[in-house]
């Protein structure tokens, strides 16, 4: 049953985040509910989906499903690889909304961060709930990236050379990374990465 809630949460959360990749559907929803109504529906679906994901995944872990429903058994050293792969994730997230050299080089830093996060966690977690969670989010990020290219979404003007915004993104990102490694991951997820 926990996996059902996890899947339902993913459908809601990723479904809401897939609507912008379909301009005609998004336009129809905005036409019907208005921009504010559309934004409210998006927020409700995304937040409801996130709550179900967290609850379903947590319940699956509590029920021992992440230990008993193994598709593959990653070796212990993969935890070190995850720690390494996660280092750029938070700076990329911090660079998402800014005009910066990082954004110029990466183009869509949030999608790159989500893909890195998902791949890193798939490497070190081989249970059915893990593969459902991280695999689904990875698949969505790949589809969204393709959609961004096909829709011709504009990126901010190119920036040449390192800027103060890049320095801020790296500093904030690395501080968040350290906070997650030493405190927040255990507090939010219930698993210590160290």
Provide the sign of the torsion angle of the four alpha carbons 122, 124, 128, 134, taken in this order: negative
pTM beyond 0.85, yes or no: yes
Q: Verify that 75 and 59 share a domain, yes or no.
A: no
What pLDDT does 188 receive?
A: 83
Q: Which of 36, 63, 90 is the last residue of a domain?
A: 63
Q: Give pLDDT tens digits for 97-111.
A: 888 999 999 999 999
In the chain, how many domains are there? Answer: 2
Q: Verify that 83 and 172 share a domain, yes or no.
A: yes
Find the domain containing 42 and state its range. Answer: 1-63
Q: Verify that 81 and 2 share a domain, yes or no.
A: no
Q: Verify that 75 and 56 share a domain, yes or no.
A: no
Tokens of 175: 């501080």
Band (153; pLDDT cuts 50, 70, 90): confident
Q: Verify that 52 and 78 share a domain, yes or no.
A: no
Q: Verify that 42 and 112 share a domain, yes or no.
A: no
Q: Give pLDDT tens digits for 59-86.
A: 888 888 777 789 999 999 999 999 999 9
Per DSSP, the residues of 33-102 read: HHHHHHHHHHHHHHHHHHHHHHHHHHHHHHTTHHHHSBS----TTHHHHHHHHHTTHHHHHHTTTS-SHH
Q: Give pLDDT tens digits for 124-148.
A: 999 999 999 999 999 999 999 998 8
Q: Verify that 82 and 146 share a domain, yes or no.
A: yes
Q: Verify that 30 and 55 share a domain, yes or no.
A: yes
CA-angle at 175, arms to 170 and 181, nearest 5°: 125
Q: Verify that 55 and 146 share a domain, yes or no.
A: no
Q: Verify that 105 and 179 share a domain, yes or no.
A: yes
């Amino acid at each position: 049953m926990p996996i059902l809630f996890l899947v339902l949460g993913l459908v809601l959360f990723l479904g809401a985040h897939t609507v912008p990749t379909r301009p005609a559907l998004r336009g129809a929803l905005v036409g019907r509910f208005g921009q504010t109504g559309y934004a409210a529906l998006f927020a409700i679906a995304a937040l409801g989906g996130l709550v179900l994901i967290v609850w379903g995944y947590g319940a699956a872990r509590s029920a021992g499903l992440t230990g008993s429903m193994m598709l593959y058994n990653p070796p212990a050293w993969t935890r070190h690889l995850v720690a390494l792969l996660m280092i750029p994730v938070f700076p990329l997230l911090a660079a998402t909304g800014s005009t910066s050299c990082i954004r110029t080089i990466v183009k869509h830093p949030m999608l790159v961060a989500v893909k890195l996060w998902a791949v890193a966690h798939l490497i070190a977690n081989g249970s059915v709930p893990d593969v459902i969670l991280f695999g689904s989010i990875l698949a969505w990020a790949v589809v969204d990236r393709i959609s961004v290219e096909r829709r011709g979404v504009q990126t901010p003007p190119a920036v040449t050379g390192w800027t103060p915004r890049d320095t801020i993104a790296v500093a904030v990102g690395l501080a968040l990374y350290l906070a997650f490694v030493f405190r927040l991951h255990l507090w939010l997820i219930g698993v210590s990465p160290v």
